[in-house]
Structure 1
Amino acid sequence: MSQAIHGRGTGLQPDNRYAAEQRIAIDDGWAAEAATARPRTIVQLHPAKSIISRNQSPDLRFSQSINPYQGCEHGCIYCYARPSHAYLGFSPGLDFETQIVAKPNAVELLRTELARPGYQPEPISLGSNTDCYQPLERELQLTRGLLQVLLTTRHPTYVLTKNALIERDIDLLAEMAQQGLIKVMVSVTTLDRELARQMEPRASQPLRRLQSIEALARAGVPVGVLTAPMIPALNDHELEKILQASRDAGAVSAGYVLLRLPLELASLFEDWLATHYPLKRAHVLSVLRQCRGGQDYDARFGARMRGEGVFAELLARRFRLATQRLGLAGATWALDGSRFSAAALQGQLDLF
């Protein structure tokens, strides 16, 4: 069991799975307990070669995405993107939330890629892997720059975040909404402030996220709530309350995902449970594994987001009934890409 670090999701630092050597820390009980220093966030600027990622997953509503940041200072212990940090040579543990890589040429690359001959304007999702409104965005404003390009070209866009910083860009989002170009999903995992502090330590608190939903809705921006992840015996009992509070704030659609534990995330999450919720650890993991065929994770399309078995079926039924009752079911995700024009980029002023 690791020592908790204030303001961080995990104190573990497992070796990169691609490293030539793997180390295992063992506490023999003889060493005096040392105070854990609070690690600071280190930002690296790495110019990217391309900016639009593409996928063919049937589980996702979009085939194109942009992630201006790799790693995420929010520190959510459940984040399925943690294992991807290994591709950069970092640990999926503490490194994921303290070693942040930003793509300073993201806006310039987007202009170039949208202007290529034959480009087809399929919706682009911002923040599908790591949050595009994490704290670093206040300074670098890469997401705002991307939105300005997408608005200029009238490109259909999805945004996913759990940070109230999105309110800064309501001017752009509202203008995109008027043209049918934007839909926003705000992730609300719990209404319990203490659980949120432990589970997603540097993300906006739940009440602030509800206020962001309200602000977006008031500005005419189509906004939904993503109750993800749902974790058995930890936050799943809040599902209906989160949906109700989000609808009351102005959400018009909803989604959910059952907790996913790919690769290193399984051991990181288990350690987090042992540290913060030791009495629930066995129960949480048992139900999750029942939903994944006895394993920590099932990567199959169609099963990885929802799970299988009694608990998964009950969760799906609860979500369906609640969204139908609240009027959150059946919302369309269609966006207007018919007026896309890369020619609009010609003569556009520099954003920075």
Structure 2
Amino acid sequence: MKKILNEPLAYVDEMLDGLCLAHPDVYRRAGESGRVIARAAPAREGKVGVVSGGGSGHLPLFTGYVGTGLLDACAIGNVFAGPTVGDCIDAMREADHGAGVLRLYGNYGGDRMNFDMAGELAELDGLESTTVLVTDDVASASAQESAKRRGVAGVVYAYRFAGAKAEQEGASLADVTAVARKAVAGCRSIGVALTPCIVPEVGKPGFTIDDGEIEMGMGIHGEPGLWRGPLKRADALVQEMLERLLSDLDTARGERVSVLVNSLGATPYEELYIVFRAVARELQTRGLQIVQPLVGRYATSMEMTGVSLTIQRLDSELEWLLHAPAVSPFWRA
């Protein structure tokens, strides 16, 4: 195993220390365990809070998106492990500014269980909250069972829209929740993996992919995909990914969409732009207009080599929210 670390068991806490030391104007550690990242400066009273959580190993996903126009707080677990109930409660309390809190996170069993329990306990103390689960991964379940789908890179769009809506004066918890639900309904993602990744505490890859092989639809924790086979040309990979996404979204000519071409960790920008070139050409052929594309590392899986592609349908409200101000070292648009 080759990783730049001290002790595997200290990996997450030392990372969080470094994150806050590098960006003290944006982040601070909070909560009893220190496993909550909150905004360095408190938001205004009367603002709806937006909170999330998940395992480490996916930066900038989860903790990186705390900031103005995005999340208020985030609970973080060990690498590829969800946050504890206590950290979820602490994150909700950090995000509470008197107008309720939206719990917004990916559809994973442990995260659901702990955030549901945290919500019940927080509500006993009078904190009103709602939940929206992100379910954008088309490879993880059929359209008929879309509620079972995992949440992957599409959660970035949900953070953006819900966070921007929550910054608006007069926006209610119901308003912010409705925007998050609309975002999830119009978002689809799929990924392709070329190499595995290593969890520091384990010290070896959690799965293997042979040289010259890829896996279409593999999850960000190594969950099985749709097929495994020889590496294809970039244009052919994009063609298949778009076919799967757009057939599920049922888009029409003239629609406006945002596109996220995301590195799963080790894929260089050069290859991401080769992918985006193919995406832009195909969407133009289909009569779809791309608005504010995102290309880079937005939701990773440690050092996995691979790429995910996300299509987000837009209406006038979501497009306005996409362009609204945001403050985070990792939000680049």
TM-score (norm 2): 0.38
Could you say which structure has the larger radius of gyration? 1
